[in-house]
Amino acid sequence: MAATIKAPFEQVVLSHGAAEAARCITLELLGARVAPSQPGTRGGLTTPMRVVTVEGLSEPVARAVGSVARALGAEVDHLPVVPQILGSDVALVAMPHVDPLGRLHDPGPVALTTQRAGARLLVDISLSVGALPLDVAEMGADALVGDVQRWLLGPEGLALAWLSPALGDDVPARMRATTGPFARGSLLALARSVGWLLMYVELPWVVARTGRLARRLYGSLAGIHGVELVAERAAHAGLLAFRIIGWDAEQAAEELSRSAFVIADVESEADVVRVSVGAWNREDELDRFVERVAELAAHTPASLPRRPSLTILRGPLDHDR
């Protein structure tokens, strides 16, 4: 796991999901501003404290950071972007590396802003680890957190956390004592999937191919009249979100799944269809998908010629449930 983000393994901690990791990290990063309780008294903030969560942060991480911050008496601001100047009362900023609409966010400038304000930076890498090249030394964050079941092909219910050595050598050890133990089967599944990517397929090849296919798909979709992509061409990831003019996202996703081998997700609030590209995809698969998107874009839900659907007949071994 440490090799996927180019970090010393001593600084990497496993957890039961990104929410647990975010809770533990938030406690560590904010703990210095909370006075310990004394017998007969309650601990509390030594100075006023605010926490900033950025739009696009995964819901489990945003909820975990916010709940811990409020429990410690801090105010939580949920903002579209991080202001260029932060007040001295800001203790923590939590941001996504890639948001649910596939937009890539550079943590570098945010890291400089938090450093000037004396705040800490937590980056959610759930939608980038295994799909984009990551190097903790270049990101400038104080902590990273990410689920492993997407491009790393790991089991659900596990996540990784990285903690900067500037936080102290004892912080990872305290987190390990809090997050363990783990089911042996989950750890073996994670080790085999990540080991396969690193040692047999080779992660640099996986990341390079994922990026190349994502750029190919982005360019093809961008060339279709009536298709709008959410992310900018220079700042998108392996996850792409788009709209088809004249179609709502639910209609488009349903029609695409009928006629192409595609697993499409829908972001209802933004009314977009989301698809992901992995190194295992083939170019001809992407081309067939693009052809079907172009066909939808050329029609409305009322004018699109309906294709026959596959009917599944009951077999002799089927039983009523």
Q: Show me where the domains of the chain are located.
A: 2-201, 203-297
User: What is the C-alpha separation between 125 and 141, in angstroms, rounded?
Assistant: 11
- The tokens describing 192, both together, are 């085999």
- With tokens 């903030």, the residue in question is 45
User: What is the C-alpha separation between 189 and 195, in angstroms, rounded?
Assistant: 10
Structural contact between residues 72 and 34, judged by C-beta atoms closer than 8 angstroms: yes
Q: Per residue in 82-122, pLDDT tens? A: 999 999 999 999 999 999 999 999 999 999 999 999 999 99
From residue 163, alpha-carbon distances to 12, 49, 79 in Å are: 7, 21, 24
168: which residues sit within 8 A by CB, 6+ positions away?
Answer: none
Listed range (39-43, 67-71, 83-87, 208-212) with the worst mean pLDDT: 39-43
User: What is the C-alpha separation between 18 and 65, in angstroms, rounded?
Assistant: 11
Q: Which CATH superfamily is domain 203-297 in?
A: Aspartate Aminotransferase, domain 1 (3.90.1150.10)
Structural contact between residues 249 and 271, judged by C-beta atoms closer than 8 angstroms: yes
Name the pLDDT band for 259 (thresholds 50, 70, 90): confident
User: What is the C-alpha separation between 299 and 302, in angstroms, rounded?
Assistant: 8
227: which residues sit within 8 A by CB, 6+ positions away?
Answer: 221, 242, 243, 244, 245, 293, 294, 297
Q: Per residue in 67-81, pLDDT tens? A: 999 999 999 999 999
Name the pLDDT band for 258 (thresholds 50, 70, 90): confident
**Residue 240 scores a pLDDT above 70:** yes
- The tokens describing 263, both together, are 């697993």
Structural contact between residues 50 and 87, judged by C-beta atoms closer than 8 angstroms: yes
With left for phi above 0 and alpha for psi between -120 and 50, is residue 284 left, alpha or beta?
alpha
From residue 89, alpha-carbon distances to 29, 80, 260 in Å are: 14, 19, 52
**Residue 302 scores a pLDDT above 50:** yes
What is the pTM assigned to this prediction? 0.90
Name the pLDDT band for 315 (thresholds 50, 70, 90): low
CATH architecture of 2-201: 3-Layer(aba) Sandwich (3.40)
7: which residues sit within 8 A by CB, 6+ positions away?
Answer: 136, 162
Q: Per residue in 172-199, pLDDT tens? A: 999 999 898 999 999 999 999 999 999 9
3-class SS letters over the chain:
CHHHHCCCHHHEEEECCHHHHHHHHHHHHHHHHEECCCCCCCCEECCCCEEEEECCCCHHHHHHHHHHHHHCCCEEEEECCCCCCCCCCEEEEEEECECCCCEECCHHHHHHHHHHHCCEEEEECCCCECCECCCHHHHCCCEEEEECCCCCCCCCCCEEEEECHHHCCHHHHHHHHHHCCCCHHHHHHHHHHHHHHHHHHCHHHHHHHHHHHHHHHHHHHHCCCCEEECCCCCCECCEEEEEECCCCHHHHHHHHHHHCCCCCEEECCCCEEEEECCCCCCHHHHHHHHHHHHHHHCCCCCCCCCCCCCCCCCCCCCCCC
